[in-house]
Amino acid sequence: MVTTTGLISWFKLDCDATDSHSSNNGTWRCNELYTACGQINQAGCFDGCSSITVANESNFDFDRNCKFSVSAWINITPTTNEMIVGKRNAVTGKPGWSFHVNSNGKIRLEIGYNCTDERSVSSCASICCSVWTHIVGTYSGNANQNGMKVYLDGALDTAGTNGMITGPMLNNHQVSIGGRADGLLTLYTGLIDEAAIWKKELTSCDVSDLYACGAGLSYCCVTVPTPPVLPPELGRVYSRGDTAKVFSRSDTARIYNRGDTAQKI
């Protein structure tokens, strides 16, 4: 089970844009639409006009030396170049980070400062339309393209080659789901479910666990409680050599209930 360690926000998109992990709640722009046919319960339905902007933008400021990951279940229609989740007000040429689906159906993670100082990595495979696919993008915070990875359905699909990033990635834009925060261009068409943003680089095991939970995804830890230590008197098994107390006729008989503690005399 994937733990909540490093998780910033989790958007179930079950009939609202509430952050189920923290207080970075989302607000719909234009049409607020959902479908009952999500990967897990309901899902957000994006019509090419709508998007969600997320509160508290500074919580998602990842500079080139900061680890982060983005994950979601998506179900696409035929696409152009569309943003799934990002903190950037342009496809390219502006500081920030973004997670896209390209017009060829490939998933791309992109980080950068400007047109000459940005790096991206795209999946080798193209995902299919009208099919739920689990996507994860991770970044190691090493200021290099080789620290970027894209996973499809729980498996590493591609990793970046060498290429440094030198400029800052910070900006004052809100995180957006299904399009840019300014509501212009790159608007997504299709379904998004269980979107999450992490301030750590998910490992391959994390990603595999996250995907394996896809029929009932939970970002929560399951903690097995430690059995209590019982006092030595409780539940004592008496042996043949133990002393038995003989009660006389004048002794008051006591009726013991099932929950009473056995005592050695």
Long-range contacts of 153-160 (CB under 8 A, 24+ apart): 153/211, 154/207, 154/208, 154/210, 154/211, 154/212, 155/208, 156/204, 156/207, 157/107, 157/123, 157/124, 157/125, 158/121, 158/122, 158/123, 158/124, 159/121, 160/119, 160/120, 160/121
At 256 the pLDDT is: 44
Mean pLDDT of 174-194: 86
| CA distances to 73, 76, 155, 194, 195 from 70, in Å | 11, 17, 15, 11, 8
Q: Where would I find the beta strands (DSSP E) of 62-219?
A: 68-76, 82-87, 96-101, 107-114, 117-122, 133-139, 148-152, 155-159, 176-177, 189-198
Mean pLDDT of the chain: 82
At 1 the pLDDT is: 64
Looking from the CA of 140 toward its CB, the CA atoms found within 13 Å total 13
Mean pLDDT of 141-157: 95
Which residue has tokens 């056995």? 262
For each of the domains in the chain, give its residue range(s) and CATH number, in order of start: 7-215 (2.60.120.200)
pTM listed for this prediction: 0.79
Residue type, 236: R
Q: How far apart are CA 135 and CA 70, in angstroms?
A: 8
pLDDT of 46 strictly over 60: yes
| CA distances to 180, 210, 219 from 81, in Å | 12, 26, 29
pLDDT in tens, 207-247: 999 998 764 445 543 333 344 444 444 444 444 555 544 44
pLDDT of 10 strictly over 80: yes
Q: How far apart are CA 109 and CA 62, in angstroms?
A: 14
Strand 148-152 to 133-139 pairing: antiparallel
At 34 the pLDDT is: 94
Q: How far apart are CA 46 and CA 254, in angstroms?
A: 72
Select from 103, 104, 68 the least CA-distant residue to 86.
68
Other C-beta atoms within 10 Å of 93: how many?
13
